[in-house]
Structure 1
Amino acid sequence: MAPQDSLIFKVRRCEAELVRPAKPTPREYKRLSDIDDREGLRFLIPVIQFYRGDDTGRDPARAIREGLANALVFYYPFAGRLREWPGRKLVVDCNEEGVAFVEASADVTLDQFGDAIHPPFPCLEELLFDIPGSFSVLDSPLLLIQVTRLKCGGFIFAVHLNHTMSDATGLVQLLKAVGEMARGANAPSILPVWQRELLDARDPPRITCNHHEFDQVADTKGTLNPLDDMDHRSFIFSPAQMSILRSGLPPHQRVSSTFEILTAFVWRCRTIAHQHDPEEEVRLLCIVNARSKFNPPLPAGYYGNAFASPGAVTSAGKLCQNPLGYALELVKKAKAEVTEEYMRSLADLTVIRGRPSVTEVRSFMVSDTTKVGFGDVDFGWGKAIYGGQATGAVGANPGLASFYILSRNWQGETSIIVTVCLPAPVMQRFVQELYAILKGPPATTMHKEKSPVILSSM
């Protein structure tokens, strides 16, 4: 079987159409929250889901299109368009223009993608279409969906989401509603809640917390990643590798979460590979879901952005020269900073400072989607074989972020896929550092689970 990264196939796409709500919906303007309205969210998130088919002969494109139209009756703001009011304030014009939708067919089977489906995906530009003008944040569809039938009867569902509308949790809530409606439900099991005013700035706004993710840092040594020599790879960490990392920590740190340990490990290896000057500051930005941080918690159906990216700051020398436990404590401290007051302060900062973007100089951002539920979305063909980020690189700086994606093998064991994008020489050193720490038996008897598996590179 050919490896995924050498796979080439053709996709035949129908002309894009606009799917509107199945019933009339309110015509109104809805303001985004000040958390939604951050400059760094004005882009499209690519997500992709792979599904096996069945022998019923049902058409997934038709079922999903109908489910989408019915779900939009409840999630009608997604059928609208973003406008800017004075001060660049984003609002949704709920005008029922519709969601962009394309049905397609590809001359490839699921099995040809190999045993482990993962980013970077072959022919991704064929599976996530690009309608001219559709990638503008304003006056464009807020969702762009393509359903691609495969020769084996399976299909691929791909979507671009305007990030200002929802975070990963909100998108999964919408997709599950589409799946429920496609399977015949009369209403989503979780009704959507707008209430974006819950995450607006206070009056008057006041910054009460430290937000190191927005520190002003000059790129005096040109450390931002070049765009012409980037190496995109995915690595898989099974329970065996996580056990190796955990066992290397002092006993009192071994109770730390998988996310905390893995993030500390990847951040440290990545920083060593970059070979920064020891006195230079480096940053870790952790995406933290803040829904449960509020008292009372945000409503269950809230589908707006409700996350922060607190920053851990240290010098490159301290991070690289200290044991892994040093990085681990920094990760845990950053996560713990996210409270209701932190979120209020973040909304206030957004207004006071004019929507600043997070600092990218010597920064590393981690987004954990393993518990969000992308793989649980069921359009009528069961759970996805793969569900999550379509690419490991987003935004203008592809080397900024890594995504954690849940992976299941045929035996049902769960592992974590980690996407990494680095300049080619840095990637070589990163891989060497991983293998130096996660040592396995001699190469002649090495088993996959004894070291991190490089799944693919492009």
Structure 2
Amino acid sequence: MAAQSSALVFKVHRREPELVRPAKPTPYEVKLLSDIDDQEGLRFHIPVVQFYKHVPSMRGKDPVAVIRRALSETLVPYYPFAGRLREGPNRKLMVECTGEGVLFVEADADVRLTEFGDQLQPPFPCMKELLFDVPGSNAVLHSPLLLIQVTRLKCGSFIFALRLSHCMSDAPGLVQFMSAIGEIARGSHAPSIPPVWERHFLSARSPPRVTHTHREYGQQATIDDNKTMTTMPHNFDSMAQISFFFGCSQLSALRRHAPPHLRQSYSRFEILASCLWKCRTVALRPDPEETMRMICLVSMRGKFSYPPLPIGYYGNTFAFAVAEAPAGELCRNPLGYALDLVRKAKGEVTEEYMKSVADLMALTGRPDFLKTRWTYLVSDVTRAGFETVDFGWGSPVYAGPAEPDVGPVPGLANFCIPCKNKKGEDGIVLAISLPTQAMERFVKELESMLKSPPNETKTFTHVMSAL
């Protein structure tokens, strides 16, 4: 079920980073981001990695050269990626489309793909070597919006790693861009889905009006126009990281803990998120009266009615749905308690809710989502499509987030990533980060849920004595 990070060590030889510019002249203009894009919680760079096997039919073709050329051509229609972020009044972000280009690193590693192990999953060894942090490149403002490194391996395989300024795109938007590179790398003259900017679709209304309570930003009641959100520091100690694989058997075991008449109605994500929230709470040993928060990312792609988001839109289109419960209630109740809270939170995210978020951002200076010791966020990228990106070498053997955590705060958030285990079974992998002693308790609690039948009569005293 769980796997520790590999101790694999290898050397990487890199050429000097270069700027890849659009293959043709592009418009110089300033484009505003949406009020969903430029919130504080997205002002960081997010890493992605794709592992590709050697393909005999591609012998003689250099993945570095193929991808570099395709990237340059793709930046013509996607020219905002070649620009730089600027900040205006009220912390409003915009892209100055300068055509300066994106950072590109060519590299070679003295390692074979098989040496990464039978099961590719984060955390990956030597990730800093596979995605070089070019000095001065990771700022939000005035820095390249993309950093791409292509690393050839000894066996003819290669690794494509990318770092994106999250303000520009969510996971499906990034996949759309990467797929466009792949299409051009395979011989197309233009992307099959033309990119659409149109960030005004998710910008604040005039005048802005907050119509929902947004607990994800620490809001307890509808705010007035002058109130500013605050967050608490995250103060976890030294962290342990372990990857957990959930295949059909593991998901079925967890589903048995749901109410019998609703078991098949819950999605895989709802089952996993609720289970992780419960196990994590047990592991962290909070005071029983402490409020625990689960934040789920809910995508609104395809859910806007008027006006609908156009096909090809590659901005951020999700909201942070939050479920709350006292720690004691979360621990002592069966899994159905957490499941109901998670499903209700997701259901609150509607078209009007998204518009209310955009208005909240404009009114309050674009606050961060609530980050406390008792907040946990889970992002589902199983349907984003990373595994479909083909540069000519077929589908990747691993595709998706490169790091266990979402964002800059250790242990706060995790990805649900599609993956295969050593037996070739499809499933979901999560790389959990927790303080070392809490991780031991987390593993014990999760294994108990996977092995034991649901016990509806577990008492509060028994649960809290185990904390």
Shift of 1:412: 4.9
| Matching residue within 346, 353, 378 for 2:364 | 353
Q: Between 409-418 and 170-179, report the one with greater CA deviation.
A: 409-418
The match for 2:193 is 190
Contact 2:169 / 2:314 at 8 angstroms: preserved in 1?
yes
Q: Which amino acid aligns with 1:430?
A: F
Matched, 1:386 2:386: no
Q: Which amino acid aligns with 1:159?
A: L
The match for 1:40 is 41
Contact 1:212 / 1:313 at 8 angstroms: preserved in 2?
no
Distance in 2 (alpha carbons) for counterparts of 1:175 and 1:410: 27
**Mapping of 1:225-236 within 5 angstroms?**
225-226=234-235, 228-236=237-245
| Matching residue within 89, 93, 100 for 2:92 | 89
The match for 1:258 is 268
Q: Which amino acid aligns with 2:444?
A: Q
Distance in 1 (alpha carbons) for counterparts of 2:82 and 2:182: 17
Matched, 1:199 2:212: no
Shift of 1:292: 2.1
Q: Which amino acid aligns with 2:340?
A: E
Q: Between 3-12 and 194-203, report the one with greater CA deviation.
A: 3-12
1:12 partner SS: strand
Do the aligned partners of residues 440 and 264 (structure 1) sit closer, same or farther apart at CA in structure 2, a change above 3 Å counting? closer
Matched, 1:237 2:246: yes
1:6 partner SS: coil
Q: Which amino acid aligns with 1:25?
A: T
Distance in 1 (alpha carbons) for counterparts of 2:407 and 2:251: 30
The match for 2:148 is 145
Shift of 1:40: 1.0
| Matching residue within 317, 323, 327 for 1:306 | 317
Distance in 1 (alpha carbons) for counterparts of 2:402 and 2:433: 14
- What TM-score do you get using the length of structure 2 for normalisation? 0.90
Shift of 1:396: 3.5
Contact 2:378 / 2:414 at 8 angstroms: preserved in 1?
yes
Distance in 2 (alpha carbons) for counterparts of 1:39 and 1:309: 13
The match for 1:72 is 75
Distance in 1 (alpha carbons) for counterparts of 2:246 and 2:203: 38
The match for 1:334 is 345
Q: Which amino acid aligns with 1:243?
A: S
Q: How many residues are treated as equivalent by the alignment?
A: 436
Contact 2:84 / 2:96 at 8 angstroms: preserved in 1?
yes
Q: Which amino acid aligns with 2:99?
A: E
**Mapping of 1:379-418 within 5 angstroms?**
379-409=391-421, 412-418=424-430
The match for 2:282 is 272
1:100 partner SS: strand
Distance in 2 (alpha carbons) for counterparts of 1:234 and 1:223: 27
1:438 partner SS: helix
2:379 partner SS: strand
Distance in 2 (alpha carbons) for counterparts of 1:117 and 1:390: 11
Distance in 1 (alpha carbons) for counterparts of 2:103 and 2:408: 24
Distance in 1 (alpha carbons) for counterparts of 2:356 and 2:243: 35
Contact 2:49 / 2:401 at 8 angstroms: preserved in 1?
yes
Q: Deviations over 1:33-57 (max 9, x none)?
A: 1110101111000000000012322
1:68 partner SS: helix
Q: Which amino acid aligns with 2:418?
A: L
Do the aligned partners of residues 153 and 236 (structure 1) sit closer, same or farther apart at CA in structure 2, a change above 3 Å counting? same
The match for 1:433 is 445
Q: Structure 1: state its 5+ residue gaps.
A: 442-458
Distance in 2 (alpha carbons) for counterparts of 1:15 and 1:79: 19
The match for 1:59 is 62
Aligned-residue CA RMSD in angstroms? 1.8
Shift of 1:16: 0.4
Contact 1:4 / 1:113 at 8 angstroms: preserved in 2?
no
| Matching residue within 280, 283, 300 for 2:293 | 283
Q: Deviations over 1:136-186 (max 9, x none)?
A: 111111000000000110000001100110011110000000000111101
Do the aligned partners of residues 332 and 122 (structure 1) sit closer, same or farther apart at CA in structure 2, a change above 3 Å counting? same
Contact 2:46 / 2:407 at 8 angstroms: preserved in 1?
no
Do the aligned partners of residues 4 and 154 (structure 1) sit closer, same or farther apart at CA in structure 2, a change above 3 Å counting? farther
Matched, 1:248 2:257: yes
